Structure 1
Amino acid sequence: MRYLLPSLLLVALLAMLMLRGYVHSEILADHRVRPPAGTGQVPDRILKGGPVIDARGTTTPKALRVPDHKLVLTFDDGPDPQWTPKVLDELKRYDAHAVFFVTGTMASRHPGLVRRMVDEGHEIGLHTFNHPDLAYQSRSRIDWELTQNQLVLAGAAGIRTSLFRPPYSSFADAMDDESWPVTEYIGSLGYITVLNNTDSEDWKRPGASAIIERATPEGTRGSIVLMHDSGGDRSQTVTALRTFLPQMKERGYQFANLTEALGAPSAHTPASGVELLQGKAFVGAVAVSESATTVLVGGLAVIGVLVIGRFGLMLVLSFAHARKVRGRGFSWGAPVTEPVTVLVPAYNERECIASTVRSLTKSDHPIEVIVIDDGSTDGTADIVEAMWLRDVHVVRQVNGGKPAALNNGLAHASHDLVVMMDGDTVFEPSTVRELVQPFGDPRVGAVAGNAKVGNRDTLIGAWQHIEYVMGFNLDRRMYDVLGCMPTIPGAVGAFRRQALERVGGMSEDTLAEDTDITMALHRDGWRVVYAERARAWTEAPESVQQLWSQRYRWSYGTMQAIWKHRRAVVESGPSGRFGRVGLPLVSLFMVLFPLLAPLIDVFLLYGLVFGPTRNTIIAWLGVLAVQAVCAAYAFRLDGERMIHLVSLPLQQILYRQLMYVVLLQSWITALTGGRLRWQKLRRTGAVEAPGATTGRRSDDSRRPVA
C-alpha cells in the first residue's frame, strides 16, 4: 500500500502529459501535403461548380454557390487565444457572422472561444482534429479525426455540426482524383464539404491592403472568403477586417453564416446523451492537463535554477572549504588529546557488532566504549561481553529507541567529549582523533564525520556510495562554510557533553534525532562543523525494502525537525541566523528539490515520446553533465576511485525515482496526519519487544583484553 498512492500520482502525472501531447498534435501529427493529381474521376459539375459540395447520401453530388450580395467569411485553424478574440470583436462591431473551421486540438484547449462563437451567432465547422492531409489517411483515421473533432465541439459548446473543410484545401476546380474519393466518403458520413472561391492569402502576411484586395469579390458576386484566425501572427488579418467589413457593407454585401446564405437549416444540432458527457469529460481533462503542465513546466524551470544554483554553490563553497582546512597553518586550536567516550547504540546487531567494537579498540586516540543494548533479542550484548575487551562496557536497557539509548549511554559516559556511532559502522584507527580535533575551538559544539558506504559492490550500494560522497559529504562542506550544518550523521558524529546537556540531550520528538539535535545546537549558539578526515564505514541497505525504510525515516524525520524548529525563522541571535539561513536551505535542498527532481526524467520521457527529441536529450545530458562534474569533484576531494561514477546515469534515472516516491510518501504521511499512527506503531513495537534487566552499567562488563 505504501507504493500505491505515490504510484497513482505518478501515473496521473504521466497521463496528463500524454493528454497534453495528444491535444498539441505531438503524437499523431502528419504534416505531409500531397502534390496535385489528375482530375479524370472528378465530375465536371464539381470542377466547374461552386465551393460547397453536398454529397450526403445522394447518387448525384452537387456543387452550390453563394448567392450574390452574400459574403461568407471563413476562418481556419483556430481558435487561437490571442487572435480569435480580436477577430470576434471586429465581427461583433459590424454585426457580421462568419464560419469558423476549428481543429480539435485548438478547440479542446480553448473551449471558451468555441462557446463564444456559438453564443454570438457564428457557425462552426470541422477542420479535423490535428490537421492532416486526409488524402494520405485511411478511412479509420478519417473517422477518428472527425469523431474526435465532434467530441470536442460537444464538450466545448454542446453542439454537433454538419460542416467540414479539408485541411490544405483550395478551390473546387483544384479537386483531383486523390481528394475527390475523400470528399465522397465524408459526404456519406453526413457532412457538407466547404471549400472557398476567394482566398485572402492572409497566411502569407502580405499586408492588410493586399489581404483586403484578395478577399474582395468581383462586382456583387457571392463568395466564400478564406481567412485564418490561428497558425501564426494574424495581426494583419485583424487590421484588414477593420476596413474590409465596413467597406463591403457599404457595397451592399451581407456577412452571413453559410446556412443563412444558402437559406438552409442551421448546421448545428444539439449534442446529447453519452456524447455530451464524453465531450465535457474530455474537455475538462484537457483543461486539467493544460493547467497541470503549466505548473510542471514552472516546476521544471525551478528545478533547472536549483540544479545549477545548488551545484554551483556546492562547487564554489566546497573548493573554499578544501582550501581552508587543507591550507598551511590551519588549526582548530590546541590539539585535542583528552579521552573520549564512544557511544554505540545497538538493537539486534548480532551480525556486525563485533566488527564495530573491534575497530574501536584499534583507535589511536584514548577512548572508552559504551555499547547500549536497546533490548536486543539476538544476543548482541552477550557477543560484546564475550569479547573481553578493556574499556568496553555494556549497558542493557529495555527497548526504548535510539534517542533513549544514547541518553542512557551519555549518563554513563566518563568524559566530556562524546562520539556517537551506529552499531553497523566501522571506524578507522584515526577516526576518533580526527573527529574530535575541531573541539580545539571552544565555540564548536558538534562535529560531523565523513560517512562512507562500505558495501558498494552491489548496484544499490554503488548508487548510495555516489549519493554519500556527492550528495552528503559535498553538501556538508557547503553547509560548513555557510555555518548551518543540518545533520550530524548518526554513523559518525561527536558532541561536547555540555552542549548536549544544554539542549536537553537527544530528543524523541522526531524520527531523525540526529537532525533534531543538530538544529537544536545551532539555535543554542554552538558551531557545528565537518571533519572530512574522520571516516566511518557504514553498511548501507542492500535491498529496495531496506532502503525504503531507512530513507522514509530520514525524509519524514527531517520534515519533523524542520517543523519543530520553525520558530527559529522569526527569532533573534544564533537561532534566528540559523532559521533564516539554515532552515530555508535544508527545506529547499532536502525536501523540495528531491520532490521536484524527477520532473527532469518525466520531461525526458515526454520529449522522447512527443518531441522535440533532440533538444530534450541535449537538455537532459546537460543536467547529467553538471551532476557528473560535481560528482567527479566530490570523488576527488574524498580520494575515491572514479570508476564508480560509471553507474551515475542509471542512478539518476532509477534511484532518483525511488527517492521521489519515498519523499512523496513522507509528504502524504505528514499531510494526512499519519505521523501519530506511525510513531505509535513504532513505540508499540518497542513495548512488546522483550527487554533485559535494567539500564545500569554492568560491573562485570569491564574485562581485560583476552
Structure 2
Amino acid sequence: MTDPTDHRPGTAVPRPTAVPRPTAVPRRRGRTRRVTPRTHWLLLCVLVVTLSAALLLQGYTHHMFQITSDDVTGPPGRADAVPGQVAHGGPVIAGAAGSPHTARPKTRTIALTFDDGPDPVWTPRILDVLRRNHVHGTFFVVGTQVVAHPELVRRIVAEGHQVGIHTFTHPDLSRLAPWQRSLELRETQLAVAGAAGVTTALLRPPYSSENDALDDADWSVLKQADRAGYVTVLSTLDAEDWQRPGTARVLANATPHGKTGQIVLMHDAGGDRAQTVAALNTLIPRLKAQGFRFTTVGTAVGMTDPVRTAGLDDHLQGIALIKMLQLGDGTIRLLDVLMYAAGTISVLRAAVVLVAARRHRRLRTGRRARPWGPPVTEPVSVIVPAYNESAGIEAAVRSLAASDHPVEIIVVDDGSTDGTADLVESLRLPGVRVIRQRNAGKPAALNTGLAAATCELVVMVDGDTVFEPDAVRTIVQPFADPAVGAVSGNAKVVNRGGLLGRWQHIEYVVGFNLDRRLFDLAQCMPTVPGAVGAFRRRALLALGGVSDVTLAEDTDLTMALCRAGWRVVYEERAVAWTEAPASLGALWRQRYRWCYGTLQAMWKHRGALVQGGAAGKLGRRGLVYLLLFQVLLPLLAPVVDVFALYGLLFLDPVRITALWLAFLLLQLLMGLYAFRLDGERPGPLWSLPLQQFVYRQLMYLVVIQSVFTAVAGSRLRWQRMERYGTLRSPTGAETSGEDRPPRVPA
C-alpha cells in the first residue's frame, strides 16, 4: 500500500484531496496528443480475454480429465441397442450409424496397439523394440500428449507405424455431450495433422474393451464417430499392463491361444511401462518363432489407407492448435513463477513494513525516543492555496487560526468563482491574509504564498483540510535538526461513512502510514502530502519554488528536496482531517491524476538511481519501492484475479481459497497493528474482505490506464474533486461514520 496523500500510481491508499486547477497545465500542453480511454480498455479487454481463453483451454485440456486406469468406468449398462453382429463380431467396427459391420485380423496376424501416448520416456523405448524386431504397430494417441511431444508422433509415422485417435483429454466419451465428443475427436485429429502432417480414420475410445463389453451409451458414441468418418478399433487381448502385474503376467495376457488373429491392447504412457517394454522384448521373437506376423491394424483387417496425408488447411490449423496450447502451457508456468514471486515479495514486504513501523514507533514516540533538539517555537507561515473551496475553507482557516503555535495564515485565492476569498475575508480572523490572483494552478498559488511568507518555516495546507490545534506545533519540531528540509504530517479521512469511506479510511491508516514509517527509516520519503506538510522556505527557494512540470507537485517537490541533500521525515502526531472522494467516479478521477502525476515525477527524478548520498537513497530505495509495489504489482493484479478463477475452476479450490484467506488474514493483522499505532478503533476493518472485490480492482485499473497514458505520451489535465461540505468549523466539527475525529476547539 502507499501513501494516501501522494500522487502515486495505483496506490490502494487515498491521498488528501488536492486542489486541482483547470488551467494548471499550460495551454501548449493542452494541444498535445491524447489517447482515448476506450483504447486502453479495448487493449486491456483483448489481453484479459486472450489470457482467459488460453487458461480455459489449458484448464480443460489438462485438468478436466486425466489418463487413469481402464477399470474406472465400472460395469457396463444395458446393451439393448447394440446389434448382435457387433457384440459378437470383430474388434474393428465400421458403419455403426447405418449398416454396421465388423472385421477381424487375419489368421496368425497380430496387431500390437498402444494407448495413451506418446510419452517422452516409454514411447521411444517401445519404438526401439519394434524397430529392432522389424515390427510395425498402431499407436492410439491422446491429443494433449501429441501437443506436448509432437516430435514423437512424427517419429511414429516416419518409422512406418499407424496412428489412431484416443481423444484429446482421455475422457469417457459415453458420459459427454455430443458437442464435447465432436470437440475431443476434432481437436485430436488437428493435433495429429499439425504434428505429423497426417490424418487418421482409426479411433479407440478411452476405457473401451472387447465387443461384448459395449453398452447402449458406448454404441451412441460409436454411431457419432462413424458419422464423423471414424472406424472404431477395440481389442481382443488386453495385456493389462496398466495394472503393472509383473512382466510374466503381461506376457501371458498378451500371448494368443491358437492361431486366431489378435488385436493386442498395451500402453506406452500413463505410468511406468518398464514391464511393457520387457514383455515386448520376449513376446515378439516368441510369436514370430511360432509363425505369427506383426502388422498394423489397417493391414491386419485389410483396410485401405486409414492414415492419409493431411490437407493444407488441417495441417495449418493443427500447427496453430499446437502452438497455442504450448503457449498456454508456457503461460501457466510463467504465471506460476510470477504468482510465487509476487506472493513471496508481498509477504516479505508486509514483514519489513511491520518491523519498520514498530522500530519507527520506538524511535519517534517511545519512552526512549530522542528529541529532535531544542523545542521549535519560531512563528510559522501557513499557505492555503484555494480554488472554489467555499464548501470547506471556513473550517480549514478557523482550525489553523486555533493553532497553539504562532502562525501567519496566507490564503491564496487562485481565481475562484464561488466567493472563496470573500468568505475568508468576512471571517475577519487575526493573522489571516488573502491574496487574490488570476487562475494559474496550484503550484503557482503555492509559489505566490511562498513569496509572501515572512517566516522561515512554511506549512502547506489544502483548502479542504482541518488541522488539530497542536498539528502546526508538532509538525515543525523536527526542524530542530538542521538536516531536515521537510516534514510529512498525518492526514486522516473525515468522511468515513459507507463502504467507500471505510475503505479509504483503512488505506489512509494502513497503507499510507505504514509506508511512510518505512520511508522515514530508510530516509527515502517520496512524498510530503499537500494536505499536511512543512518545509524550510530557503530549501524551497533554492529549488526555484514549486514546479508545475508534473501533476503531482507534492511528490515532485519532495523528490527534488531529497536529491538536493535534505532529509524528509514523518511526524505521525501532526494530525489533519481531510475529505476523501464519496463516489467511485470522483475517486477514479482523483486517483487517475495522482497516479499519472507520480509516474511523471518518477521519470523526472530517475537520475537518482545512479546518484550517491540522499539522492541515491531516494532512487535505489524509494523509486524502486514505488516501481515494484505501486506500478508492477498492480499491473499484474488482473492476471492474479484471472489465475485465481482458473485455480478455482481447474485446480484445487480448497487450496486457492485457503491461500486467499491467508493473505486476507495477513492484511487484517497489518490493519490491526496500523490502527493500533494510529490510535484508531478497528471497527472499519470488517469491510476489508469486501475491499478485495471492488476497490482493489478500481485501483489497479487506475494504474493500468495511467501507464497506458504515460507510454502513449499523452498529457492529463487537472481535474478538480467535488467538495461535499463534510468538514466543520472548529466549534462544531462532526464526521460521518463510526469514528469521529476530535473536535477542534475554537
- Secondary structure (helix, strand or coil) at the match of 2:411 reads strand
Task: Quote the Cα distance in structure 2 between the aligned partners of 1:421 and 1:241.
Answer: 86
Correspondence for 1:415 among 452, 455, 461: 455
Q: 1:38 to 1:647 in 2, by over 3 A?
A: closer
Unmatched 5+ stretches in structure 1: 686-705
Aligned to 2:642: 602
Tell whether 2:582 aligns with 1:539. no
Amino acid at match of 2:627: S
Q: 1:63 to 1:9 in 2, by over 3 A?
A: same
Q: Contact (CA 8 Å) 2:550, 2:597: kept in 1 or not?
A: yes
CA contact under 8 A between 2:392 and 2:463: conserved in structure 1? Answer: yes
1:115 deviation in Å? 5.0
Partners of 1:590 and 1:53 lie apart in 2 by: 63
1:568 and 2:627 matched = no
TM-score, scaled relative to structure 2 = 0.82
Q: Partner residue of 1:328?
A: 367
- How far apart are the structure 2 equivalents of 1:484 and 1:390? 38
RMSD: 3.4
Which runs of 5 or more residues in structure 2 are unaligned?
1-35, 721-745
Displacement, 1:628? 0.8
Q: 2:91·2:104 contact (CA, 8 Å) conserved in 1?
A: yes
Q: Please point out which of 57, 61, 65 is paired with 1:23.
A: 61
Structure-1 separation of matches of 2:121 and 2:434: 76
Please give the alpha-carbon distance, in whole angstroms, between the structure 1 residues aligned to 2:540 and 2:290.
Answer: 93
Match of 2:724 in 1: none
CA–CA distance in structure 2, aligned partners of residues 589 and 179 of structure 1: 55
Which of 508, 512, 523 lines up with 1:472 in the alignment? 512
Name the counterpart of 1:671: 711
Change (3 A) 1:584 1:219: farther
How many pairs were matched up? 680
TM-aligned CA distance change 1:365 to 1:258, over 3 Å: same
> Partner of 2:677: helix, strand, or coil?
helix
Q: Does 1:228 align with 2:267?
A: yes
Q: Contact 1:49–1:65 at 8 Å: present in 2 too?
A: no
Matched residue, 1:442:
482
Amino acid at match of 1:626: L
Answering whether residue 343 of structure 2 is matched by residue 304 of structure 1, we say yes
Q: Supply the distance in 2 between the matched residues of 1:202 and 1:171 (Cα, whole angstroms).
A: 16
Distance 1:451 1:353 in 2: 17
Cα offset, 1:587, TM superposition: 1.4
Deviation at 1:216, TM superposition (A): 5.3
1:386 alignment counterpart: 426
Aligned residue type for 2:518: M
| 2:568 counterpart of 1:528 | yes
SS at match of 1:24: helix
Q: Paired residue for 1:12, among 50, 55, 61? A: 50
Mean Cα deviation higher: 134-143 or 292-301: 134-143
- Distance of 2:472 and 2:291 partners within structure 1: 99
**Is the 1:300–1:599 contact (alpha carbons within 8 Å) kept by the matching residues of 2?**
no
The 1:371/1:147 distance shift into structure 2, 3 A limit, reads same
- Distance in structure 1 (CA, Å) of the matches to 2:205 and 2:685: 55
Q: Distance in 2 between matches of 1:239 and 1:518?
A: 75
Contact map agreement 1:418 1:495 (CA 8 A) in 2 = yes
Give the equivalent residue in structure 2 for 1:642: 682
Change (3 A) 1:524 1:273: same
3-state DSSP of counterpart to 2:384: strand
Counterpart AA for 2:93: I
CA contact (8 A) 1:445 1:496 kept: yes
Is 1:146 aligned with 2:188? no
Partner of 2:218: 179
Residue of structure 2 equivalent to 1:578:
618
Q: Secondary structure at the match of 2:694?
A: helix
Summarize deviations over 1:128-158 as a string: whole Å, max 9, x none.
2333323334545433433443344455555
| Paired position in structure 2 for 1:488 | 528
Per the TM alignment, residue 231 of structure 1 is displaced from its structure 2 partner at its CA by 3.1
Contact 1:303 1:597 in 2 (8 A): no
Tell me whether 527-536 or 45-54 shows the greater mean CA deviation: 45-54
Q: Which amino acid in structure 2 is aligned with residue 485 of structure 1?
A: M
Q: 366-375 or 105-114, which moves further after superposition?
A: 105-114
Other structure's SS at 1:536 match: strand
Structure 1 window deviating more from structure 2 (161-170 vs 189-198): it is: 189-198
Provide the rounded CA distance (Å) in 1 between the counterparts of 2:700 and 2:463: 28
Q: Which moved more, 1:58-67 or 1:158-167?
A: 58-67
Partner of residue 52, structure 1? 92
Give the 3 Å change call, closer, same or farther, for CA 90–598 of structure 1 in structure 2: farther
Q: Report the counterpart of residue 590 of structure 2 in structure 1.
A: 550
Partner of 2:698: 658
Code of the residue aligned with 1:135 in structure 2: it is S
User: What letter is aligned with 1:5?
Assistant: L
Identity of aligned residues (%): 52
In the alignment, what sits opposite 2:394? 354
User: Once structures 1 and 2 are overlaid, which stretch shifts more, 285-294 or 610-619?
Assistant: 285-294
Query: Is structure 2 residue 100 aligned with structure 1 residue 33?
Result: no
Partner residue of 2:174?
135
Which residues in structure 2 correspond to 1:257-272 (within 5 Å)? 257-272=296-311
What's the secondary structure of 1:597's corresponding residue?
A: helix
TM-score (norm. length: structure 1): 0.86
CA distance in 2, matches of 1:239, 1:489: 75
Q: Report the 3-state secondary structure (helix = DSSP H, G, I; strand = E; otherwise coil) of the residue aligned with 2:64.
A: coil
- Corresponding letter in the other structure for 1:128: T
**Does the C-alpha gap of structure 1 residues 351 and 208 become closer, same or farther in structure 2, counting only changes over 3 Å?**
farther
CA distance in 2, matches of 1:4, 1:371: 44
Shift in Å at residue 555 of structure 1? Answer: 1.8
Q: Determine the C-alpha separation between the residues in 2 that align with 1:377 and 1:540.
A: 23
Is the 1:601–1:653 contact (alpha carbons within 8 Å) kept by the matching residues of 2?
no
- Pair 40,541 (structure 1): closer, same or farther in 2 beyond 3 Å: closer
1:691 alignment counterpart: none
Whole-angstrom distance in 2 between the partners of 1:559 and 1:247: 76
Residue aligned with 1:72, SS = strand
8 Å CA contact 2:114, 2:268 repeated in 1 = no
Secondary structure of 2:408 counterpart: strand
Cα separation, partners in 2 of 1:415 and 1:60, compared to 1, 3 Å = closer
| 1:102 maps to which of 118, 123, 141 | 141
State the Cα deviation string for residues 265-322 of structure 1 (Å, max 9, x = none). 2223455587666655544443443333333222211221122111111111111111
Write the mapping of 1:280-291 to structure 2, written as runs, cut at 5 A: 282-291=321-330
Cα distance, 1:308–1:376 mapped onto 2, change above 3 Å: same
Change (3 A) 1:603 1:339: same
How far 1:371 moved relative to its partner? 1.7
Letter in 1 for 2:669: V
Deviation of residue 42 (structure 1)?
A: 5.1
Query: Could you report, residue by residue, the CA deviation over 1:469-514 in whole angstroms, capped at 9, with x for unpaired residues?
Result: 1111111112222222221111111111232233333222322222
Compute the displacement of 1:177 (Å): 5.2
Deviation sequence 1:175-227 (CA, Å, 0-9, x none): 34553454345335432111223434333345667656655556887543433
Shift of 1:659: 0.9
Alignment partner of 2:56: what SS? helix
Q: 1:424 aligns with which of 451, 464, 479?
A: 464
Provide the secondary structure at the position in 2 that maps to 1:53.
Answer: strand
Amino acid corresponding to residue 464 of structure 2 in structure 1: D
2:497 maps to: 457
Aligned to 1:505, the other structure's residue is in SS state: coil
Q: Secondary structure at the match of 1:351?
A: coil
State which drifts further: 60-69 or 246-255.
246-255
Equivalent position amino acid for 2:189 in 1: Q
- Which moved further from structure 2: 361-370 or 585-594? 585-594
Q: Does the 8 Å contact 1:163/1:194 carry over to 2?
A: yes
* One-letter amino acid of the counterpart of residue 571, structure 1: Q
Match of 2:4 in 1: none
Tell me: CA distance 1:384–1:90, structure 2 relative to 1, closer, same or farther (3 Å).
Answer: farther
Change in CA separation of 1:208 and 1:404 when aligned onto 2, cut-off 3 Å? farther
Which moved further from structure 2: 525-534 or 497-506? 497-506
3-state DSSP class of the match of 1:303? Answer: helix
- Once the two structures are TM-superposed, the CA of residue 359 in structure 1 deviates from its matched residue by 1.4
Letter in 2 for 1:167: P
Measure, in 1, the Cα distance between the counterparts of 2:445 and 2:160. Answer: 78
Contact 2:109/2:300 (<8 A) preserved = no
Cα gap change, 1:608 to 1:140, in 2 (>3 Å): same
